[in-house]
Amino acid sequence: MRVVKKEGYYTESGFFVVAVKGSGGMNPGEMAAVILAGGRSSRMGENKLLLPLGGSTVIGCLIHTLQDLFAEIIVVTDHPNAYLSMPVQVAGDVFPSPVRNSLTGIHAGLRVSSFNYNFVIAGDMPFVQPDLVRYLCELCEGYDVTIPREVQHLQPLCAVYTKNCLPHMEELLECGWYKIIDFFPGVRVRQIDTNALKVYDPELLSFFNVNNPEDYLHAVKIAEERTEEAEKI
């Protein structure tokens, strides 16, 4: 008999919405993780993903979390030599350099993945929470895109995509359209309210990304606080 743990959140109307743990769905061990590492880091002046963080690097922290969950990890980058020593598969964009962007990165990752279902995340999001990732994976079966939503804002770089998205992405890219959500009308999309995700990540640190020097300093502080908390246990 499966034991189901019920947790949830209250809406503004006062209704309790249940989030169910242990409900089945896809297992991350039967999926790949795609990390997008193709940004230019213009606001940082150097490759922000390789900046030191928590005894590792920004992307190293992310890889450490994901390698305990997924069967395969793919890093999409235009600087493959920077990641050859890491336990990942490296892939490059298929579309020409002038149009390199997040959509081309997702496309490249899905194209080389060994799995139909793929968790896609930006390389500058070092604090993604394993329980949140597992929850998204539990809910993704039967959908081509499973994506967190906060009010009207979607999180396309912390979402699950299937290979069924590839032809729809290619249709956009060949027309010079690069906005990720523009291909959504042609596929099956499931939006997950971030209030439900707070059960697994109360502060939604999974969506924190390192965009500029101030963000990096904040990330260092978060990592230090986590280390201190771990030492107390």
The residues, any chain, with a CB within 8 Å of residue 187's CB and separated by 6 or more, are 144, 145, 164, 165, 168
Tokens read off for 96: 């020409």
Q: Where are the alpha helices (DSSP H) in 176-233?
A: 194-197, 213-232
Cα(169)–Cα(119) distance, integer angstroms? 16
> How far is CA 11 from each of CA 1, 15, 16, 147, rounded to the nearest angstrom?
31, 5, 7, 20
| Structural domains in the chain plus CATH codes | 22-232 (3.90.550.10)
Q: How confident is the model at residue 44 (pLDDT cuts 50, 70, 90)?
A: confident
Which residues lie across from 103 on neighbouring strands? none
- pTM, two decimals, is 0.87
Quick: pLDDT tens for 106-146.
999 999 999 999 999 999 999 999 999 999 999 999 999 99
Q: How confident is the model at residue 46 (pLDDT cuts 50, 70, 90)?
A: confident
Would you say residue 196 has pLDDT above 90? yes
Q: How confident is the model at residue 157 (pLDDT cuts 50, 70, 90)?
A: very high
